[in-house]
Homo-oligomer: A and B are copies of this chain.
Amino acid sequence: MIRIVILGAGNVAKHLFKAFMAQEELEVAQVYARNPKMLSYFGANTKTTSDLTKIETADIYVLAVSDDAISELSKQLNLKKGLLVHTSGSVSIKALPKGVRRGVFYPLQTFSANRIVDFKEIPICIETTNKDDFKLLKHMASAISDTVVPLSTKQRKAMHLAAVFANNFTNHMYHLSHELCEQKEIPFELLFPLIKETARKLEGLSPFDAQTGPARRNDKGTIKRHLAQLKSKKQKKIYSLLSKSIRTTYG
């Protein structure tokens, strides 16, 4: 049985809490949040506190707070025992205090309130400063996910950056597409099958091979007509830059 304390009460904390609670070999001993109002979600199923001096002892302390808060909160914690891990893709393991057993537990997924995610499918990238802690952290990660991957801070930061393109920027493409549909009063929902197929294709084709469209064909006539259709400077700029980037990708 691994005893866990979660520090934080946002989306990541909630999703992790649920996933940990579903495993017999894991026990969430306590959830901490600075703001007591944030703790109501957890209170029915575990102990909660807003007082840093009353943190329970645990095998693993999971920091599920914003990147900026990691360093300061982990200092205030003043841990004597246990493994302290943060859950950020872009923060170094060294942001945790020197005298503490340190680790990173980074689930490669986007978490929204009200979205159920299947943790079994989510890759968890882990890192520790010593071997025994790696085993312990791997044990916790493997309990909730089928894909546990050791990544160094450097690799994890690269992964996080790659995820910004694959997730954040992709979602912004959806938004720009949505905006165009709204401007012309056509239903964005019609694009859902196309959007899903675009994602699914990657299982059989590299994105390099899957690329289609006017920029891929270097179809200057269509590109010109599209640019004329776009109303805002921002849309035109993005269309031009990405079309150019696609063109140069294929020489």
Contact = CB atoms under 8 A, between A and B. Distances in A.
A249 interface: yes
How many chain copies? Answer: 2
Contact of A222 (B90, B158, B215, B238): B90
A166 B194 contact: yes
A131 interface: no
A170 interface: yes
Given A166-B177, A207-B178, A226-B161, A193 B109 contact: yes
Given A157-B229, A238-B245, A164 B112 contact: no
A213 B216 CA distance: 28
B211 A175 contact: yes
B186 A159 contact: yes
Contacts of A69: none
B161 A180 contact: yes
Interface residues of A, number: 91
Interface stretch (A1-9, A48-56, A75-83, A195-203): A195-203
A110 interface: yes
Nearest to A122: B193
Contacts of A157: 225, 229
Contacts of A181: 158-159, 162
A188 interface: yes
Nearest to A114: B204
Contacts of A193: 108-109, 121-123
B172 A211 contact: yes
A115 B117 CA distance: 27
A175 B110 contact: no
A170 B167 CA distance: 9
Contacts of A139: none
A151 interface: yes
Interface of A: 67-68, 90, 108-110, 112, 114-115, 117, 121-123, 125, 147, 149, 151, 154-155, 157-159, 161-178, 180-181, 183-188, 190-208, 210-216, 219, 221-222, 225-226, 229-230, 234, 237-239, 241-242, 245-246, 248-249
15 contacts: A90-B226, A108-B190, A109-B193, A117-B197, A159-B191, A162-B184, A168-B212, A169-B238, A171-B207, A174-B202, A175-B249, A177-B207, A178-B206, A198-B199, A199-B199
